[in-house]
Amino acid sequence: MSTQQRGASSKIQSSLRTESMAYPSSATANLISKAQYYARRYDKTLMVIAGVLLFGLLLAATSSPSSSMKGVGVLRGSKPSYFGGAVRLGYFFPEDAVNKKENKFYFAAVTDLDELSKVETEKKPTFRSILMPGTLTQLVKDNGKVTYSIDMDMANPRELITKHNEAGRGAEFSELQLFQNRLYTFDDRTGDVFEILNKPDGTSSFVVPRFVITEGDGETDKGMKWEWATVKNNELYMGSMGKAFTAADGTVLNRNNLYVAILNSRGELRRENWASHYDVVRQAVGAMDPGYVIMEACLWSDYLHKWIFLPRRISTEQYNDVKDEKKGANKLVMVDASFRNPTVVNIAMEDMNPLKGFSSFAFVPGTKDRHAIALRSVEEDCAIDDGDCKQRSYCLVFDVMTGEVLSPEIEIEGGHKYEGVEFVNINTKPPAV
């Protein structure tokens, strides 16, 4: 190569090197270049992927669990959505049921009137339940002994009206339970779980169905026969009477009432077969086959770390509709979380009328679950013809650990059967939406 050619080549290479300074030849530069190339080539695909990722992030944000269960997003409309599809946060706070200055506790009781729930004056099937407020006053004597007095506010009952029914039966509410600051009641005919809400002034209430739950393992078309409900580990446990459904001769037709339904804080439902759990209670009170236990009152105690069962009826004999009315019990059964080591406590009732049986109870606030208010209910001559049926309910307070009765047992006026009780201030005004 001539000197002139070498000089020209050198100038060309120098020129190429000078121009390449604007495009670094490092590995990073190569990656950037490739990224730009693929971005131009697959721009539509990348946009789709980015959109999917963004949608996923929005979905996760709107469905993530929180104490309020608030969700605002593409799947729930433009307005806030809360547990069970409600438009407000729960507003029945447990602390509002306590008046520390006057040693008073506010509570409410709800009726299950059975076939008497039907409102005969309405053209369309309409059903009612009574929500009755009450006040529990704690009395402390000079020696430190605690007793209670119970007052029902009979002048201010509230009617809960619904048209939801199963085969012409409805509003047969068998329990009251606070969960996430919401007040729930449970229809033992339809399987509906209703939320009790207040009108703006707080002086009247109404019910809204939040969930409809069928009995057994869930693959049935009959509503769950609710009898009790409680909260454990921020989940709502809902149970039935704990007895298999039998024919007149004792033949077992199904065991659907041995299942328990559980709602978590996100409104997700699961079921558990509690046949073996109920058997622990039955064995503790000596009511194995052909005997039985009718369970209408059960609570989990966070303080005692135990399940507390308060059977309505206990029998050592085969079930019979007529005889069952007089199998009222006065026993409490405590069992640990694993359903072992049951303990039986006798409630020291002065009146051992076998027609009376426990239908609900609630722990008195501030007593670490040592004291409980309870309902005892009566259904007399109801087995054959509801036209002759006589209903009534009683209320008392007792010591969970010893069975000592801490108040006079009062009869709730009106001749109605109350099956749910909870400490709640039902005069609470709802917040604005």
Measured CA distances, 375 to 267, 378, 416 (Å):
29, 10, 12
359 close to 373: Cβ distance less than 8 angstroms? no
DSSP annotation string for 303-354: TTTEEEE--SEEESS---HHHHTT-B--EEEEEETTS-S-EEEE---S---T
In which order are the strands placed within the sheet that holds 298-301? 298-301, 306-309, 331-336, 343-346
Backbone angles phi, psi at 283, to 5 degrees: -65, -35
Residue 57 tokens, joined: 């992030």
Indicate the annotated binding residues for Ca(2+).
Answer: 174-175, 227, 296, 359, 419
Residue 259 tokens, joined: 């299942």
Q: Which of 355, 361, 352, 354 is nearest to 333 (CA)?
A: 361
Measured CA distances, 278 to 62, 382, 422 (Å):
39, 26, 24
**Residue written as token pair 């426990």:** 358
357-363/343-346 β-pairing = unpaired
Residue 402's contacts (CB-CB under 8 Å, 6 or more residues apart) are 345
- Report d(CA 121, CA 115) in Å as an integer: 14
Element (H, E) at 291: none
Indicate the annotated binding residues.
Answer: 174-175, 227, 296, 359, 419
Residues 66-74: contacts with CB within 8 Å, 24+ apart? 67/180, 69/180, 69/265, 69/266, 69/267
306-309/357-363 β-pairing = unpaired
